[in-house]
Amino acid sequence: MNRRFRSVIFIGLLLLLLCVPGFLWRPQQRASVEEAYRSQMAPVFLVPGSSATQDRFNDLVSGINQKTPHQHSLLRVEVMTDGALKYTGSIRANDTQPIIVVGFENHHDGYATIKKQAQWFTIAFKALQKTYHFNHFSAMGHSNGGLVLTMFLEDDLAGTKAHADRLMTIASPFNLEEFDQNVDTPLFKQLSNGRKRLPKELTVYSIAGSEGYSGDGIVPFDSVNRGKLIFQGQVKHFTQMTVTGANANHADLPENQQIITLIRQDLLASHGSLHGQ
């Protein structure tokens, strides 16, 4: 082997070695860019509680749109027990922050039903994500709707590769209707055991209604307050608030003017700042 041939081989090996870090770095760079990218669309999901349908928040959305310069589209999705989806309403072209209400054909109360609803919500979320190509979102759940969303965040969010920006729970009974503070229901145990899987960059607002000293007429204060035992120390920010006065009982809370204001300033007005990050 002559000297010239050996030099060619040496240079070729040297170039190969120099290229290896680039080949290794490129997939990491692509993964990093994909992780940081936020889609223009960032929908706000609303999930109703027991005995309520996908039409539960019609008045709420009307109230929001009356007092905000940005008119939010309203798309309602009903998830049937077989996983089929029924749509009413639509998302307006170029609406980057539509409101999507996800309701369930089976909207009965009970721990077993809540677990099924969390699975049905995942079906709807993945279908909507495939259609509208969003990769981050915020959400609000009233009563059991907040439990459904919490289960989704713990168990199924990671599989969607989407980012949860903000969550608001309104009168969500994290220990169901249990009044004894020394009793942990199976639901609370499940949510508590899964809390380490919550997204670390999530901001959470937990709102309780006050009709009397013990709760909002249906959900005990202690049950709502247990949200702090699930979210505190696991998410980026956790804030707990109590709403009193007119329309502070359990059923009327979604139409409470204080809560509408909180939704506008904490779930909707935050979109611009989040998108700009």
| Range 88-113 average pLDDT | 95
pLDDT at 22: 60
Q: How many CA atoms lie within 13 A of 138 on its CB side?
A: 27
Examine the pLDDT at 15 and tell me if it is beyond 80: no
Structurally, at CATH architecture level, domain 41-276 sits in 3-Layer(aba) Sandwich (3.40)
Q: How many percent of the chain have pLDDT more than 90?
A: 63
Q: Which residue has the higher pLDDT, 179 or 253?
A: 179
Question: What is the DSSP-derived secondary structure letter of residue 195?
Answer: G
Q: For 130-160, what is each residue's pLDDT tens digit? A: 999 999 999 999 999 999 999 999 999 999 9
**Segment 204-215, tens digit of pLDDT:** 999 988 765 555
pTM of the model: 0.83
The mean per-residue pLDDT over the stretch 230-244 comes to 94
State the alpha helices, DSSP H only, in 133-243.
Answer: 144-155, 186-193, 221-225, 227-231
pLDDT at res. 249: 66
- Whether pLDDT at 245 is above 80: no
- C-alpha 73/C-alpha 93 separation (Å) is 9
25 or 127: which leads in pLDDT: 127
Nearest to 66 by CA among 258, 256, 260, 246: 260
Domain boundary assignment for the chain = 1-36, 41-276
Q: Among 24-38, 88-102, 168-182, 210-224, where is mean pLDDT lowest? A: 24-38
**Whether the Cβ atoms of residue 174 and residue 190 lie closer than 8 Å to each other:** no
Comparing C-alpha atoms, which of 103, 24, 51, 20 is closest to residue 218? Answer: 51
Over range 18-32, report the average pLDDT: 54
Give me the chain's average pLDDT, please: 86
Higher-scoring residue by pLDDT: 199, 254 = 199
What pLDDT sits at residue 165?
A: 97
Model pLDDT, residue 253: 80
What's residue 256's pLDDT? 81
Higher pLDDT, 146 or 2: 146
